[in-house]
């Protein structure tokens, strides 16, 4: 009986250990510890996977913010608002078919702002294109880090950060929107 218990324990522990960094996409490599990042980017244009034409977003203050172990993606495109926020539970790297390496974040939606995202999982890949020019590329992905929507972006300037803070204060004020 002891041998069966120890065999089961060893199989269970090794299975959970090796299953942590597995993905159905062999080009994804997860970090063993969540990498905390801190940045705020303004999303400029977007296009779907099979569309080479890029479209401007409906508002000029759409953004992706990663603050430690928390992520927020907010944009408005063709009249539809997307607001996704939640705790990051996994980070890593992915080599996409364009042979470029991207940083990845996986997070689970919470209901701090939008209850419709509660419990859903979201997957983003990003890379900094040119640090001096503050350019960046962000990709919304499926759970296997297959791209579904591309964004061109730039890191937010101090003025853009202040505008986002002011807009947030107005939206959260007693008077409403």
Kindly tell me if the per-residue pLDDT of 17 is higher than 50. Answer: no
pLDDT for residue 14: 46
Class of domain 24-171: mainly beta
Best CA proximity match to 153, nearest among 59, 52, 36, 62 = 62
Higher per-residue confidence, 3 vs 129: 129
Alpha-carbon dihedral angle through residues 43, 175, 85, 58, given to the nearest 10 degrees: -30
Please compute the mean of the pLDDT values over residues 46-61 and round it to a whole number.
89
Check residue 71 and give its pLDDT: 94
Handedness of CA 126, 35, 101, 109 (dihedral sign): negative
> pLDDT at position 118, please?
72
- Is residue 4 classed as helix, strand or coil in its secondary structure? helix
Domains of the chain, by residue range, sit at: 24-171
Q: What is the pLDDT of residue 42?
A: 95
The sign of the dihedral angle between the CA atoms of 126, 127, 128, 129 is negative
Task: Decide if pLDDT at 106 tops 90.
Answer: yes
Q: Per-residue pLDDT tens for 138-162? A: 999 988 888 999 999 999 999 999 9
42, 156 contact by CB (below 8 A): yes
Q: Which candidate, 122, 115, 150, places its Cα nearest to that of 136? A: 150
Flag whether pLDDT at 30 surpasses 60. Answer: yes
40, pLDDT greater than 90: yes
- Looking at per-residue pLDDT, the higher value among 111 and 99 belongs to 99
CA distances from 123 to 32, 120, 170, 175 (A): 17, 10, 30, 35
Q: What is the mean pLDDT of residues 48-67?
A: 90
- In this prediction, residue 103 carries a pLDDT of 95
């Amino acid at each position: 009986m002891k041998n069966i218990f120890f065999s089961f324990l060893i199989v269970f522990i090794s299975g959970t250990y090796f299953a942590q960094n597995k993905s159905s996409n062999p080009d994804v490599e997860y970090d063993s510890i969540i990498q905390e990042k801190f940045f705020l980017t303004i999303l400029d244009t977007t296009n779907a996977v099979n569309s080479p034409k890029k479209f401007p977003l409906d508002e000029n203050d759409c953004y992706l913010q990663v603050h430690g172990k928390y992520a927020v993606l907010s944009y408005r495109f063709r009249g539809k608002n997307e607001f996704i926020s939640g705790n990051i539970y996994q980070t890593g790297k992915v080599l996409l078919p364009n042979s470029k390496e991207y940083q990845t974040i996986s997070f689970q939606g919470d209901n701090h702002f939008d209850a419709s995202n509660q419990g859903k999982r979201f997957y983003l890949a990003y890379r900094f294109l040119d640090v001096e020019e503050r350019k960046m590329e962000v990709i919304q992905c499926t759970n296997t880090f297959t791209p579904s929507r591309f964004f061109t972006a730039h890191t937010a300037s101090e003025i853009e950060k202040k505008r986002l803070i002011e807009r947030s204060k107005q939206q959260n004020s007693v008077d409403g929107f």
